């Protein structure tokens, strides 16, 4: 029997839209499209162990079908669904060198653009560890009716209209934020709908978990090393030592920290001062979400959302998490060694 107390993603976004008398429904449509693409990716992620979908792009599987890497498949699904939807004028993806213009009558007249990392945590794909899609939505700055340009994509994160992620894990969950708050929807596989399961998510002010790649320890700055030692020490004021958790899929690490409280760090190293993570596809959407939930995200010197990007695939050091833990980290980052 269907539980009518449970709101589906569509019902929820339409209700939210009604709070804005001038809303056209385009954002609700865009989120519905993202939900649809996510369901398709979910199906493939779930059967990744059964069919040979992990081979090289271009291989032919036993059914004689062309095999696609899951991240290529995910990118294709999101791009295709948004191209055929009515709410998106163009996209940029971590998988593609350049942005894509949806140059048809309906798309040209759409007011939103979308950016995504179609499958974050790619090193975990073939070992059954949670992976996810991260997305972000902006209002275009060019005139509707014309093709989108690079300017539409190189906007600061503080101009996001919505951002979210889908995690294909022990269950599949879609979490998205607007300025009205952060809400999570778990996929009910039996009816194929995302259902509201985590309403109004708030990130705990404090937490006990820290996530960092310890393998990079000797390449970190002295400030970061000192902060990590602080995480490991017994400490009455912060409840330390903290517990270390690092999945290697940032989207899953940040999701856990969002729900339970915690901090995630991907600092720059001596060899790679800007670190590994991409500002537009990974850091901005997660920063927008954590702020909407009461947390904080910086690059070590400034708020992530205030960074003005100059290129699509720009990287940035990234620190994100519970407010008090971020403040504690900042105390260390300001202590510059002489
Ligand atoms: P990806 O988009 O290719 O998966 O790369 C991003 C991922 C993050 O999800 C994760 O936190 C990080 O890379 C792990 O990198 P490392 O192995 O250097 O710690
Ligand atoms: Mg990624």
Select the more confidently predicted residue: 212 or 56: 212
| Residue 269 Cβ contacting ligand 1 at under 6 Å | no
From 75, 115, 121, the mutation candidate for ligand 1 (largest count of ligand atoms within 8 A of CB) is 121
On the question of pLDDT at 223 being above 90, the answer is: yes
- Using alpha carbons, list the distances in angstroms from residue 259 to 7, 175, 294: 20, 11, 12
**202: confidence class by pLDDT, cuts 50, 70, 90:** very high
Cα distance from N-terminal residue to C-terminal residue, the chain: 67
Residue 235 has what pLDDT?
Answer: 79
**154: confidence class by pLDDT, cuts 50, 70, 90:** very high
Ligand 1 centroid to 123 CA: how many Å? Answer: 7
Q: At what angle do helices 26-46 and 70-84 cross, to 10 degrees?
A: 150
Mean pLDDT, rounded, for 218-230: 95
From 248, 266, 313, the mutation candidate for ligand 1 (largest count of ligand atoms within 8 A of CB) is 248
Domain 9-198: state its class: alpha beta
**Of the candidates 155, 146, 165, 315, the residue with the CA atom closest to the CA atom of residue 253:** 165
| Residue 274 Cβ contacting ligand 1 at under 6 Å | no
**Of the candidates 197, 178, 196, the residue with the CA atom closest to the CA atom of residue 7:** 196
Residue 239 has what pLDDT?
Answer: 80
Same fold, 9-198 and 209-337: no
On the question of pLDDT at 182 being above 50, the answer is: yes
Q: Is the dihedral of CA 318, 187, 185, 42 positive or negative?
A: positive
Residue 338 has what pLDDT?
Answer: 44
The C-alpha angle with vertex 290 and arms to 285 and 293, in degrees rounded to 5, equals 130
Ligand 2 centroid to 284 CA: how many Å? Answer: 12
Residue ranges near ligand 2 (ion) with Cβ within 5 Å: 117, 120
**59: confidence class by pLDDT, cuts 50, 70, 90:** low
The structural domains of the chain, with segments of one domain joined by +, span 9-198, 209-337
| Residue 117 Cβ contacting ligand 1 at under 6 Å | yes
- Using alpha carbons, list the distances in angstroms from residue 101 to 146, 149, 291: 10, 8, 30
| Residue 329 Cβ contacting ligand 1 at under 6 Å | no
Per-residue pLDDT tens over the stretch 295-309 = 999 999 999 999 999
Ligand at shortest distance from the CA of 135: 2
Least confident of 10-19, 272-281, 296-305, 314-323: 10-19
Mean pLDDT, rounded, for 81-105: 96
- Using alpha carbons, list the distances in angstroms from residue 73 to 55, 66, 70, 80, 154: 12, 11, 5, 10, 25
From 119, 211, 213, the mutation candidate for ligand 1 (largest count of ligand atoms within 8 A of CB) is 213
| Residue 71 Cβ contacting ligand 1 at under 6 Å | no
229 contacts: CB under 8 Å, gap ≥ 6: none
On the question of pLDDT at 142 being above 70, the answer is: yes
| Residue 122 Cβ contacting ligand 1 at under 6 Å | yes
Ligand 2 centroid to 137 CA: how many Å? Answer: 17
Ligand 2 centroid to 123 CA: how many Å? Answer: 10
Judge whether 33 and 13 are in contact, CB under 8 Å: no
Residue 234 has what pLDDT?
Answer: 84
Quote the CA–CA distance of 43 and 41 in Å, as a whole number.
5
CATH number of 209-337: 3.40.190.80
Residue nearest to atom 17 of ligand 1 (CA): 248
On the question of pLDDT at 22 being above 90, the answer is: no
Quote the CA–CA distance of 249 and 131 in Å, as a whole number.
6
Mean pLDDT, the chain, integer: 91
| Residue 118 Cβ contacting ligand 1 at under 6 Å | no
The C-alpha angle with vertex 194 and arms to 198 and 249, in degrees rounded to 5, equals 70
Ligand 2 centroid to 215 CA: how many Å? Answer: 18
Ligand 2 centroid to 276 CA: how many Å? Answer: 9
Residue 255 has what pLDDT?
Answer: 98
Sheet strands side by side (includes 181-188): 100-101, 88-93, 112-120, 131-139, 160-168, 172-178, 181-188, 193-198
**336: confidence class by pLDDT, cuts 50, 70, 90:** very low
Mean pLDDT, rounded, for 277-293: 98
On the question of pLDDT at 113 being above 80, the answer is: yes
pTM metric for this prediction: 0.93
């Amino acid at each position: 029997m269907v539980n009518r107390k449970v709101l589906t993603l569509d019902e929820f976004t339409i209700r939210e839209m009604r709070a804005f008398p001038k809303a056209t429904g385009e954002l609700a449509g865009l989120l519905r499209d993202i939900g649809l693409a996510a369901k398709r990716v979910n199906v493939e992620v779930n059967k990744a162990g059964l069919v040979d979908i992990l081979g090289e792009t271009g291989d032919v599987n036993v059914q004689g079908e062309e095999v696609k890497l899951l991240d290529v498949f995910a990118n294709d699904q999101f791009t295709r669904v948004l191209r055929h939807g009515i709410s998106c004028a163009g996209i940029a993806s971590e998988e593609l060198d350049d942005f894509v213009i949806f140059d048809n009558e309906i798309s040209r007249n759409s007011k939103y653009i979308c950016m995504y990392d179609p499958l974050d945590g790619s090193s975990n794909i073939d070992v059954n560890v949670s992976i996810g899609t991260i997305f972000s939505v902006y209002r275009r700055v060019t005139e509707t009716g014309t093709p989108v340009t690079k300017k539409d994509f190189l906007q600061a994160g503080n101009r996001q209209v919505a951002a979210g992620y889908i995690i294909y894990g022990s269950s599949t969950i879609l979490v998205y934020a607007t300025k009205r708050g952060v809400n999570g929807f778990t996929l009910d596989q039996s009816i194929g709908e995302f259902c509201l399961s985590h309403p109004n998510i708030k990130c705990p002010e404090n937490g006990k978990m820290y996530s960092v790649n310890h393998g990079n320890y000797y390449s970190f700055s002295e400030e970061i090393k000192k902060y990590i030692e602080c995480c490991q020490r017994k400490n009455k004021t912060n409840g330390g030592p903290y517990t270390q958790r690092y999945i290697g899929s940032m989207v899953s690490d940040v999701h856990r920290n969002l729900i339970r409280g915690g901090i995630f760090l991907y600092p720059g190293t001596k060899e790679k001062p800007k670190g590994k993570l991409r500002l537009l596809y990974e850091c901005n959407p997660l920063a927008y979400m954590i702020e909407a939930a009461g947390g904080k995200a910086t690059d070590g010197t400034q708020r992530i959302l205030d960074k003005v990007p100059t290129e699509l695939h720009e990287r940035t050091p990234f620190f994100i998490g519970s407010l008090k833990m971020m403040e504690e980290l900042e105390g260390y980052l300001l202590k510059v060694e002489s």
